């Protein structure tokens, strides 16, 4: 006896599958025989994937600059796990942890190497804020919650410190078991060649398709050699769209050269959710569907790849034994106008519309899901 069987769900490769859930885990996938307390036949009309993971968000409600509510950017938009990327450092991360225990969305954190987190925009302008003992103690207190480190390495954040905060971040990473390090890139200094040169396996470059002069492409539109070498060493590319860090031109040129993102993330917080250009993870994913990525590629970027990049055990794949985290969605063919972070627009024709998030077997409908005729419970 299962708790839930979802029948005839359409997977990202177009095939149909049943998914059975027992307690809070996926119990069977494929053609499932047996009964359940609750059955749900999607008749191939609704798409389903492992639960979407947004690798870069901001949802510490008390952050003075980038705040939001986890469930608004989570289950309300089909996202089952969000990873806050450095809103908090060692000084606030316990408060953040406590504040998000009641959320329906799974909330995890990348710890800002500055103990102040993003309390100001220039958290790495003062090297004394990088406190190795405080980082280590926070990791020891919250080993399940903190999944890695975050370092924002652009001129407005590091000011005159240049590459030094990143050198410290690499040392902290090594002192703490080599956990994932997400590095935000933006305006120089430091130059991206200098940043990329320090990165290796386990490191993640976020804002990878930003349109600033210090971007991954050379003026001739080729991938910088330093980034190419970093990718060969196992460095991963994360989108981190945000308010100022995503350019259609850069993304299109990169994708045309086969430089795909490992993870698609939103860098969402209340302002760019409400006023654009981010809106939601689904909206960011839809942009990639319209600039040359396939549906399976886009879905992998928010499921298996996201789980791999942040080493989230038991998530990101539709397999027995995994957490029963699922996203149900619609793929609509309708004209849609998209805008990047530089104000450039793109006329698209395909749009992902999240209908429901299942977290540990518990179902949460989105607003569109509540009004959808395809759900007959
Ligand atoms: Zn961010």
Distance (angstroms) between ligand 1 centre and the Cα of 264 equals: 13
Half-sphere exposure of 152 (CA within 13 A, CB side): 31
Distance (angstroms) between ligand 1 centre and the Cα of 240 equals: 7
Per-position pLDDT tens, the chain of length 377: 999 999 999 999 999 999 999 999 999 999 999 999 999 999 999 999 999 999 999 999 999 989 999 999 999 999 999 999 999 999 999 999 999 999 999 999 999 999 999 999 999 999 999 999 999 999 999 999 999 999 999 999 999 999 999 999 999 999 999 999 999 999 999 999 999 999 999 899 999 999 999 999 999 999 999 999 999 999 999 999 999 999 999 999 999 999 999 999 999 999 999 999 999 999 999 999 999 999 999 999 999 999 999 999 999 999 999 999 999 999 999 999 999 999 999 999 999 999 999 999 999 999 999 988 766 55
Kindly state whether residue 299 falls inside one of the protein's structural domains.
Answer: yes
What does 255-319 look like in DSSP terms, one character per residue? HHTT---SB----B-HHHHHSSS---HHHHHHHHHTTT--HHHHHHHTTHHHHHHTT-TT-SS--
Kindly state whether residue 108 falls inside one of the protein's structural domains.
Answer: yes
Kindly state whether residue 98 falls inside one of the protein's structural domains.
Answer: yes
Quote the number of domains for the chain: 1
Kindly state whether residue 372 falls inside one of the protein's structural domains.
Answer: no
Distance (angstroms) between ligand 1 centre and the Cα of 6 equals: 35
Distance (angstroms) between ligand 1 centre and the Cα of 242 equals: 7
Q: Encode 86-124 in three state secondary structure.
A: CCCCCCCHHHHHHHCCCCCCEEEEEEECECCCCCCCCCC
Distance (angstroms) between ligand 1 centre and the Cα of 13 equals: 31
Distance (angstroms) between ligand 1 centre and the Cα of 30 equals: 38
Kindly state whether residue 376 falls inside one of the protein's structural domains.
Answer: no
Kindly state whether residue 37 falls inside one of the protein's structural domains.
Answer: no
Kindly state whether residue 146 falls inside one of the protein's structural domains.
Answer: yes
What CATH number did the domain enclosing 173 receive? 3.20.20.140
Kindly state whether residue 334 falls inside one of the protein's structural domains.
Answer: no
Query: String of b and e for 124-160 (b: at least 16 CB within 10 Å)?
Result: bbeeebbbeebbeebbeebeebbbbbbbbbbbebbee
Domain range enclosing 191: 51-309
């Amino acid at each position: 006896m299962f708790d839930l069987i979802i029948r005839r769900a359409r997977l990202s490769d177009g095939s149909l599958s049943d998914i059975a859930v027992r307690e809070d885990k996926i119990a069977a996938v494929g053609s499932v025989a047996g009964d359940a307390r609750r059955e749900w036949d999607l008749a191939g009309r609704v798409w389903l994937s492992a639960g979407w993971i947004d690798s870069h968000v901001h949802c510490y409600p008390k952050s003075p600059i980038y705040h939001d509510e986890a469930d608004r950017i989570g289950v309300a938009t089909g996202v089952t796990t969000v990873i806050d990327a450095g809103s908090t450092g060692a000084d606030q991360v316990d408060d953040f942890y406590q504040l998000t225990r009641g959320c329906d969305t799974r909330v995890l954190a990348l710890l800002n190497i500055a103990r102040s987190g993003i309390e100001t925009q220039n958290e790495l302008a003062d090297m004394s804020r990088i406190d190795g003992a405080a980082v280590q103690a926070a990791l020891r207190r919250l080993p399940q919650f903190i999944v890695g480190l975050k370092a924002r390495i652009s001129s407005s954040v590091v000011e005159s410190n240049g590459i030094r905060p990143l050198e410290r971040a690499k040392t902290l990473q090594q002192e703490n078991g080599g956990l994932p390090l997400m590095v935000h890139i933006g305006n120089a200094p430091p130059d991206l060649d200098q940043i990329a040169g320090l990165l290796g396996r386990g490191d993640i470059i976020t804002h990878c398709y930003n349109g600033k002069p210090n971007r991954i492409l050379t003026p001739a539109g080729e991938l910088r050699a330093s980034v190419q070498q970093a990718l060969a060493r196992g460095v991963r590319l994360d989108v981190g769209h945000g308010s100022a860090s995503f350019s259609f031109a850069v993304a299109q040129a990169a994708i045309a050269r086969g430089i795909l993102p490992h993870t698609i993330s939103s860098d969402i917080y209340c302002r760019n959710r409400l006023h654009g250009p981010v809106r939601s993870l689904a909206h960011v994913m839809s942009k990639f569907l319209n600039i040359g990525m396939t549906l399976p590629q886009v879905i992998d970027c928010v499921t298996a790849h996201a789980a791999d990049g942040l080493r989230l055990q038991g998530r990101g794949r539709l397999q027995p034994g995994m957490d029963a985290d699922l996203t149900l969605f619609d793929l609509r063919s309708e004209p849609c106008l998209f805008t990047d972070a530089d104000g450039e627009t793109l006329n698209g024709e395909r749009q992902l519309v999240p209908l429901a998030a299942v977290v540990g077997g518990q179902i949460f409908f989105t607003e569109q899901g509540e009004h959808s005729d395809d759900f007959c419970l």
